[in-house]
Amino acid sequence: MLVLTRKEDESIMIGDDIEVKVLDLKESQVKLGIVAPKSVAVHRREIYQAIQAENAQAASAAKIDGISNLISR
C-alpha cells in the first residue's frame, strides 16, 4: 500500500483525472473531497460491501414459491 502524508487542503492525484483532497481534519474524522469522471463510482466502503453481499444473496435464490403472498398490497 502506498502511504502519503497530506495536510488540510492538500490533495493527491490518481491517474490523470481523479483527485482526492483533504478538506477538513477534525479529531478522529477526515473529510475528503473527490473529483472523478462520471464513469467512476465512488462510495463508502462499508456500504459498497454490504450491497455486494446482499446482491450475492439475491443471486442464490432458488425457490420463490409463495413469496408474492408475503407482500401486502
Site of interaction with other proteins (CB under 8 A):
38-39, 41, 43-44, 46-48, 50-59, 61-68, 70-73
Query: 29 vs 39, which CB is nearer to other proteins?
Result: 39
30: closest CA among 2, 47, 7, 1? Answer: 7
CB of 67 to other proteins, least distance (A): 5
Query: 3 vs 37, which CB is nearer to other proteins?
Result: 37
- Give the Å distances, CA to CA, from 47 to 53, 60, 64: 10, 20, 27
